[in-house]
Amino acid sequence: MDSLSQIVLGGAIAAAIAPAAHRRAALLAGAALATLPDLDGLLIKIFTDNPVSLMTVHRSFSHSLFVLPLLGTLIWWLYRRFGHGRVAQAPGRWWWAMVLALVTHPLLDAFTVYGTQLWWPLMPPPAMWSSVFIIDPLYTVWLLLGCAVAWWARARPLAQRALVLGLALSTGYLGWSLVAKAQVDRAADQALAAMGLADAQRFSVPMPFNTLLWRVVAMTPQGYVVGDRSLWADHGPMHFQGYPSNVQALRQASDVPAVQRLQWFNHGFMRAQVKDGELVLSDLRMGLEPDYNFNFAVAAEQAGQWQAIAPRQEMPSYREAGNRAILKQRLAQMWQRIWRAPDATAAVSTQ
């Protein structure tokens, strides 16, 4: 989730738990603790510039539910032993405030599609509940307002009420996102079954900044299909568009370490393309057709065999100079799509 959401979540939780007289200090402490897990990106860059490693090690050790309670306890002990007297005055409440400000960070991240390694150092595929976009104002605004009121009201009862209400509304919004996702998944399951893809591996994810318009991707033997669903405007069956992927090249390069790492990290939701003799893999979970946010050249063809190369990240076209208008246009189209179903839609082949 974006940094602002994490900051106000950590601040609201800590300030709601700590004694009222410590409220401003708790807001600051919770906000600071909630930013710690995402500092792993800076630490990783000290040891590697491999873009695949930078992507797949992020949200690992610093987001582990095994690590963060220990880190929170250590910080709590240090403050109780050597720091300001607030922690010593209410050690139990401050322990909960510090630990929960840390632990809720990866739990919130797991609601996005990127992937969060909640159980590191164990190695199950990263959790990607994918029910909210990485930035969603309707989640963040309630926490932001609650923290603002609490900062102003300090120890008054109004501050506690604002914090609890902000946490309740933001948590309720997460609950709504899961309900919305279930509705989309139900429609997608029916449509995919009618297309002969009942057993296809698939995922659903909300479009940017909302939970009314969703995107569903399902893998096929030749590539993948993509469909969208507006919970406001759509009432009939979902329709999907098919896209090719070089599944043969991907299969032949399956022993390349970067390919294996990405397969594990993104649950196999990848597009494979051969460009200038190189195998380029795109993460289908983040971005819109045909541009995806994460694209990596990972192997080169030599004498009919795929050989590993130093992974290289390729930027999507909309990030290039002069192409920002493409992104703005797509966001405008997305906004219109929320409220209006396409005039004519038709399912296409699953090529």
pLDDT digits (tens, 9 = 90+) for 152-210: 999 999 999 999 999 999 999 999 999 999 999 999 999 999 999 999 999 999 999 99
Mean predicted confidence (pLDDT) in 28-57: 95
Contacts of 174 (CB under 8 A, 6+ apart): 111, 131, 132, 139
pLDDT for residue 338:
95
The predicted model gives 110-135 an average pLDDT of 97
pLDDT of residue 318: 65
Cross-strand bridge partners of residue 215: 205, 228
Q: How far apart are CA 219 and CA 205, in angstroms?
A: 15
pTM of the full structure: 0.92
**Beta pairing class for 213-219 and 202-206:** antiparallel
134 within 8 A of 1, measured Cβ to Cβ:
yes
Where residue 82 falls among pLDDT bands split at 50, 70, 90? confident
Q: Are the beta carbons of 306 and 274 closer than 8 angstroms?
A: no
In the chain, the percentage of residues whose pLDDT exceeds 90 is 87
In whole angstroms, give the CA distance from residue 277 to residue 56: 25
The pLDDT value given to residue 322: 55
Q: Where are the alpha helices (DSSP H) in the chain?
A: 3-17, 23-35, 40-47, 51-57, 68-82, 85-89, 91-109, 137-153, 157-194, 247-252, 257-265, 324-339
pLDDT band at 303 (very low <50, low <70, confident <90, very high): confident
pLDDT of residue 197: 96
Mean pLDDT of 39-58: 94
Q: Give yes or no for residue 135 having a pLDDT over 60.
A: yes
Confidence of residue 250 (pLDDT cuts 50, 70, 90): very high
pLDDT above 90: residue 326: no
Indicate if the pLDDT at residue 344 is higher than 60. no
Average pLDDT of every residue of the chain: 93
**10, two tokens:** 């950590």
Question: Would you say residue 348 has pLDDT above 60?
Answer: no
pLDDT confidence of residue 346: 47
d(CA 1, CA 121): 22
pLDDT band at 277 (very low <50, low <70, confident <90, very high): very high
Segments in 110-255 forming alpha helices (H): 137-153, 157-194, 247-252
**Mean local confidence (pLDDT), 272-295:** 94
Choice between 330 and 225, residue whose per-residue pLDDT is larger = 225
The whole-angstrom separation of Cα 250 and Cα 306 is 9
Given a cut of 90, whether residue 347 has pLDDT beyond it is: no
Q: What is the pLDDT of residue 345?
A: 47
